[in-house]
Structure 1
Amino acid sequence: MTALALKQVVREALAEVGVAFDFTRLPRGKARTTTWLGGQGFGIRHYPSGRNVYIVQARMAGRLRTVTIGPATVLSRHQATTVARRVIAYAQLGLDAAAERKRIRAAPGFADFLEEYWTRWSPRWKPSTLDTHNKYRRLYLDRAFPDRTIDGLDEADVANWFSDLNNRLGPGGANRVMTILSSMMNKAEAWGYRLENSNPCKAIRLNRKRKCDRFLSHAELQRVGAVLARVRACDEAVRPIAATAITLMLLTGCRAGEIMDLQWRDVRGNRLKLRDSKTGPRTVWLGDEARALIDGLPRYMRSPWLFWNRNYGRRLKAVDYYWTEFQAEAGLRRVRLHDLRHTFASHAAMSQETLPMIGRLLGHSEIQSTARYAHLDDAHLLDAAEQIGAAIERMLG
């Protein structure tokens, strides 16, 4: 690829960002300096006359070539960065402008690539992940970019789509759909439909995640424990089963879905063999209390499930509904079922269990995942401060 071809790439890329002007030959002198921006061969060159010009350097056929993008008085930094990325990508692949136009014409439309991506990649997903992604695809991806090819999708397209998605779906869901789209763009690069390092989703800032550090204190655990014990002992068809399931979540730290999906074949002595957890199949170890809860469940020959709604003849699903009732009876407010998992981890930490041990019990693959669950309440922090202060005072004599 020649320097002349690179200049043609610059002209076409500038046209795409809405800039068109004639380049004048810039004066060359020993006193000029360059400030590099981003460390990718993109920078701004300063001349003694006070003129500042964006440039990009790319290595071609073993030679380092410098190409002028345009004056800083005409181009914004964002526009210049967009052009620089295109030039570097072209130089790395050794493409010329004509070949690139031919490649773009051959690129599939977004809808066609979405179907290809789903066909080739979705078999790797867990069943629960596939169900969720299918819903997101149907509602937010199938008609997202009807007039765009997968190669022509740029940052502006994605930014406008993500803004609209936030209004329709909310911050957490929008982040998840954006993650799917970003994975699609990565595969488009890997499968030869897009230039390398051209994923437009990388420039979009995701919504800030809401910190959820709610866990039950000792007093709250006592209140909710009394409610759950009373309900488990009552003579009803469904509520005792729901109370047992929720108590088992508290005793094991399992997610709600992991407990509600349990079948009798998953119970192996003092262990549960989870077939489909968030991190894949894993083992959950049962204490005596948890094992006693399972042994006390009524078993129906027609059902493989531990938690069975005999009123409707199917697996119990509406456990969130019952948890809302139970926490209200215990005088609790705004406690999610997932906060019971936080409670398990936090009280394990307060019992001086190590983070690696807690992580194994929760099924985490990374210690960072465990650290955000393991909270300490004020009483334990006060005790720790007093112990440390007393130790230092002894050392001070």
Structure 2
Amino acid sequence: MPERIKLPVRSKLTEKVLREAVPVVGRDYQIFDTDVRGFAACIYRGGGRAFTLDYRHAGRQRRMTFGRWPEWSVSAARERAKEIRREIDAGADPLAQRGALREAPRVDDLIERYCAQHLPKLAERNASDQKSALAKMVAPVWGRKLVTEITSTDVDKLLNKIAEGRPRPHKEKPNNRAKKLQPSKPTPVRANRIGEVLRKMFTLAVEWGWCEDNPAQRFHRRIETARERFLSKDEINSLAAALDAAEDRRAADIIRMCMLTGARLGEVRQARFEQFNLEHMSWSKPPAMTKQRRVHRVPISDETASIVRQRQLVVPRGTPWLFPSDTPGQPVQEVRRFWAQIQQECGLQEVHIHDLRHTFASLLVSGGASLEMIGKLLGHSQMQTTLRYAHLMDSPLRAGVDAVASAFRPKPRLVHDADDQGGRKTA
């Protein structure tokens, strides 16, 4: 019979003891320390070594592994064992606490639940943007952190980084890998939007009992400079001429409807024939199409109605979309290339399709429309959004000020000319 190896059961643990400990084939064993009760070094059959602490809690025998040798020195492990022993003597169960910590929800879990339960309530485009932002900007930084670990300082650091922007490829040659990236551009608006998403997400986390406070409740909101680009009369005429001459009538009509109705590009792309009442000259946009997730009914002009009638003639019967895609069963998806061509023809390089919506509002203002009317036509849910066009009303305001000044201006009065012997009156 092979000679049985006698293993040390209790010894003052030192670096030498662990270094000289011999692994046993087929089983692990422990060497308990003589100084700290329950503190031991476990010698694994594969040759590894780790520090453990045996203790009893509520009548149950427990064993906690808390560090590997040689990453942990014996002296450091002994001090940690003393700390754990003090917690146990105070009534704590460190092994149960570790298990609860391991099962505690992390930010990845919060993002997953937020996307599953909250985003379906939002408009499709908004939900898609939020999901993408969380996956690209939040999850890589916070994903493995516990929800309870996130602080307001963490939120500020993340939003500061987002606000700084990041280098992007030049738009002129996006496929040229050797071309240098453009320098970073500040993106304060994006930081504000993500801050709003985080605030909502952690508000729900508080409701779900995943944390007690919302670290994004009072995030620092950066100053936003609203984009103000309105087409001049000459630019409008040039755009109209280019659209009339365009070969792609489908894309041209989409751009024309954006200009004629002030609708968002997505609303026009997804427009259906059933939404238009040509007898009452109206367009009823369903909640799924609008940013505010509610029905938005607006009047349409004769020019817009003409586009709808023309599309009825060219679109195959049974197709619901005004602007169907080449892929069956879907509306058209892409008009950016067409818009880039129009920009080049008309010299509108700095004009976005969404600027047509702003131009629509500016023309309403010049026509005497009130802010309330503009808000209803554009589908704004908050007057604050419409107020961005208030400065365009300077002309009528100035006329009102001039009227007050005219009323207050002293009227001419008759006076006697001292040099006039005949007492002639002069004004």
Instruction: Answer yes or no: same fold by TM over 0.5.
Output: yes
Matches of 1:143 and 1:296 in 2, distance apart? 49
Matches of 1:350 and 1:226 in 2, distance apart? 22
Q: Cα distance 1:188–1:249, how it changes in 2: closer, same or farther (>3 A)?
A: same
| Counterpart residue number, 2:360 | 344
User: When the two structures are aligned, how many residues end up with a matched partner?
Assistant: 287
Q: CA deviation at 1:290?
A: 1.0
Matches of 2:107 and 2:325 in 1, distance apart? 44
User: What secondary structure, in the 3-state scheme, does the structure 1 residue paired with 2:297 have?
Assistant: strand
User: What secondary structure, in the 3-state scheme, does the structure 1 residue paired with 2:217 have?
Assistant: helix
Q: Which has the higher helix share?
A: 1
Could you list the per-position Cα deviations for residues 223-281 of structure 1 after superposition, in whole angstroms to 9, with x for gaps in the alignment? 222222232xxxx3xx2211111111111110111101112222222222212111123
Q: How do residues 276-355 of structure 1 correspond to structure 2 at under 5 angstroms?
A: 276-280=289-293, 281-297=295-311, 298-301=314-317, 303-310=319-326, 315-355=331-371
Q: CA deviation at 1:387?
A: 6.7
Higher-Rg structure is 2
| Counterpart residue number, 1:358 | 374
Q: CA deviation at 1:212?
A: 0.8
TM-score relative to the length of structure 2: 0.60
Q: CA deviation at 1:348?
A: 0.7
Could you list the per-position Cα deviations for residues 171-193 of structure 1 after superposition, in whole angstroms to 9, with x for gaps in the alignment? 33333222221111111222233
| Counterpart residue number, 1:258 | 267
User: One-letter code of the match for 1:278?
Assistant: K
Q: How do residues 133-282 of structure 1 correspond to structure 2 at under 5 angstroms?
A: 133-167=130-164, 170-195=187-212, 198-231=213-246, 236=247, 239-269=248-278, 270-275=281-286, 276-280=289-293, 281-282=295-296
Instruction: Check the 8 A contact 2:325/2:332 in 1, yes or no.
Output: yes
| Counterpart residue number, 2:34 | none
- Would you say 1:392 and 2:392 are equivalent positions? no
Q: CA deviation at 1:165?
A: 3.2
Instruction: Check the 8 A contact 2:108/2:144 in 1, yes or no.
Output: no
User: What secondary structure, in the 3-state scheme, does the structure 1 residue paired with 2:348 have?
Assistant: coil
Q: Cα distance 1:387–1:304, how it changes in 2: closer, same or farther (>3 A)?
A: same
Q: CA deviation at 1:283?
A: 1.4
Q: CA deviation at 1:135?
A: 1.7
Q: Cα distance 1:278–1:313, how it changes in 2: closer, same or farther (>3 A)?
A: closer
1:130 equivalent among 99, 102, 127: 127
User: What secondary structure, in the 3-state scheme, does the structure 2 residue paired with 1:283 have?
Assistant: strand
TM-score relative to the length of structure 1: 0.64
Q: CA deviation at 1:155?
A: 1.9
Q: Cα distance 1:112–1:350, how it changes in 2: closer, same or farther (>3 A)?
A: same
Instruction: Check the 8 A contact 2:273/2:308 in 1, yes or no.
Output: no
Question: Is 208-217 or 248-257 further displaced after alignment?
Answer: 208-217
- What root-mean-square deviation, in Å, do the aligned CA atoms of Structure 1 and Structure 2 show? 3.0
Could you list the per-position Cα deviations for residues 299-334 of structure 1 after superposition, in whole angstroms to 9, with x for gaps in the alignment? 123632212355999632222222222233223331
Q: CA deviation at 1:389?
A: 3.0
| Counterpart residue number, 1:110 | 107
Instruction: Check the 8 A contact 1:117/1:184 in 2, yes or no.
Output: yes
Q: Cα distance 1:265–1:151, how it changes in 2: closer, same or farther (>3 A)?
A: same
Matches of 1:355 and 1:108 in 2, distance apart? 47
Q: Cα distance 1:391–1:323, how it changes in 2: closer, same or farther (>3 A)?
A: same
Greater RCO (CA < 8 Å, at least 6 residues apart): 1
Question: Is 171-180 or 209-218 further displaced after alignment?
Answer: 171-180
Matches of 2:266 and 2:208 in 1, distance apart? 35
Matches of 2:259 and 2:108 in 1, distance apart? 44
Q: Cα distance 1:252–1:182, how it changes in 2: closer, same or farther (>3 A)?
A: same
User: What secondary structure, in the 3-state scheme, does the structure 2 residue paired with 1:194 have?
Assistant: coil
User: What secondary structure, in the 3-state scheme, does the structure 2 residue paired with 1:294 have?
Assistant: helix
User: One-letter code of the match for 1:216?
Assistant: L
Percentage of identical aligned residues: 28
User: What secondary structure, in the 3-state scheme, does the structure 2 residue paired with 1:200 have?
Assistant: coil
| Counterpart residue number, 2:175 | none
Instruction: Check the 8 A contact 2:123/2:290 in 1, yes or no.
Output: no
User: What secondary structure, in the 3-state scheme, does the structure 2 residue paired with 1:372 have?
Assistant: helix
Matches of 2:159 and 2:241 in 1, distance apart? 46
Instruction: Check the 8 A contact 1:223/1:330 in 2, yes or no.
Output: yes
Could you list the per-position Cα deviations for residues 341-390 of structure 1 after superposition, in whole angstroms to 9, with x for gaps in the alignment? 111111111111111111111111222211213552xxx85686467436
Instruction: Check the 8 A contact 2:198/2:216 in 1, yes or no.
Output: yes
Could you list the per-position Cα deviations for residues 153-205 of structure 1 after superposition, in whole angstroms to 9, with x for gaps in the alignment? 1122222322333456643333322222111111122223322xx32223432
User: One-letter code of the match for 1:188?
Assistant: A
